[in-house]
Chains A and B, each alone.
Chain A
């Protein structure tokens, strides 16, 4: 009986210690000040992500020399396979830095200005905010009336309203309303996971106007979407990166929208503006501490 009691006390105290660890952590973290001398936690996306491709190219992390292309991402940078995980990692690490689609920025993290320019819709539209990439739809060229009609809808004012609503920047200057054409058939769409949410909304709205049209969607990444359009297995391919030359020569492309890529840091980070050279240096390992940034 005595043994019994002692054991329950041990178990109870272990449970308490554990609970204490978990609960006291956030409050303890808030008290500790931001230490500029600490190492920066560099957070990137996985090697094959469209966001990474665009960001590394724009920031000069991907270095091109004639035929060779080398990604100079610093050794030891964390790599996550999704926007949500990048956000969670930056939210949890005071010294972290990451990059995500502008449409995914929330108050869990802080999006910094780049070269003094804030990442917002206006600045991306005017071209002042340089870290942006197009959302492209590609087709094989000989598309049917139905697909043309859907693309017309995407360019119309209704389509642009949806794009704005999703916090992307419309790329069309068309100020025409779309009128239902009463078409029927199936449209098969494949490609970028970043474009998928916008595409789904567009399809929903299009179906409201043309109830006889059905969609088949496959969300499997930019390269896959382009490949599917090239092979003709899908009608429309979605891409969140610029087309390569050999792809562009074989496909018709429509810029659906422009998406800014936001550079994000922890909310406790005192920096709210970073020069693009400094971002490049952080990602290539030339700068390793926050104090090295002027």
Chain B
């Protein structure tokens, strides 16, 4: 009798703890949203929405100052796009290989390697990029190496673990009966994988790509070290020229900025945040669509 009472109390306590934990993450999101919009909106209003988003001149220390982030918005899109072009095919093929073709011995090497890749701190990626990727780009492609190219390569590597692990599990989650059916009508292993299993895992693969985009767009430390951080006029943006992303803008100038300059940096964060929100919404839309199918 006493024992059940005890368990009941324990259960209540644990329930509260779990509920509080859930509450904390919600509270954190709300607090960050509030901070961003309360601190960032007045600056956008002061600068003017159009002048902030569609002006390519960022000269906060000039008098009169100009706070336009178009160049950085375009920069973020380019760098993220480059990372997707490099990272998605490699990641996807690696995931299919791991899930379908990989012999056990190799799996024991590749899988931990992928996990390890995901655990490497971004500052290490940055150093690697600065000391290895940048010189390789400089020697083989021209320019001074600090460029959209180098940033895309580094980010392409950084998003591999996200893409590989999520795609791999979604490929593995395809019911065995699909493959059996395919073999049953005489398809080869390759045909089965590429015509039946991969299409069936489509939504998981798309999820992995979107999460990869989120990671690439939000990455800061590594990009700052390899992209050169120059604010380029939009018509002069070039694959082998330096670029500044939204994240790089915030981190390079935050420590010193004050007044409207500081608020403009927080507003830059607002724009980035809106990007990420759009990504997440499209992710959940896609998931619900996949569930309906």
Contacts and interface: CB of A to CB of B under 8 A. Distances in A.
Interface stretch (A64-72, A143-151, A255-263): A64-72
A30 B252 CA distance: 32
B282 to A, nearest CB: 32
Contacts of A16: none
Say whether chain A's binding surface is mostly helix, strand, loop, or mixed: mixed
Nearest to B238: A76
Interface in B60-118: 60-64, 103, 105-106, 109
B44 interface: no
Interface residues of B, number: 40
Contacts of B145: 93
A76 B242 contact: yes
A220 B253 CA distance: 11
B279 interface: no
Contacts of B130: 85, 88-89, 92
Nearest to A67: B63
A205 interface: no
A8 B258 CA distance: 56
Interface string A40-81: 010000111110010000000000000111110001111111
A81 B261 contact: no
A271 to B, nearest CB: 17
A79 B144 CA distance: 13
Contact of A47 (B60, B132, B228, B241): B60
B29 to A, nearest CB: 27
A3 interface: yes
B258 A224 contact: yes
A78 B144 contact: yes
Interface in B172-210: none
Nearest to A76: B230
A3 B103 contact: yes
Contacts of B109: 11
20 contacts: A11-B106, A25-B139, A46-B256, A47-B61, A48-B61, A48-B253, A67-B63, A68-B62, A69-B61, A75-B236, A76-B230, A76-B232, A79-B229, A81-B255, A88-B131, A89-B146, A92-B131, A93-B138, A96-B144, A221-B256
Interface of A: 3-4, 7-8, 11, 21-22, 25, 28-29, 39, 41, 46-50, 53, 67-71, 75-81, 85, 88-89, 92-93, 95-96, 193, 220-224, 227
Given A48-B60, A95-B144, 16 more contacts: A25-B136, A28-B139, A46-B253, A48-B253, A48-B255, A70-B59, A71-B61, A75-B233, A75-B236, A79-B229, A89-B130, A93-B138, A220-B256, A223-B256, A223-B257, A223-B258
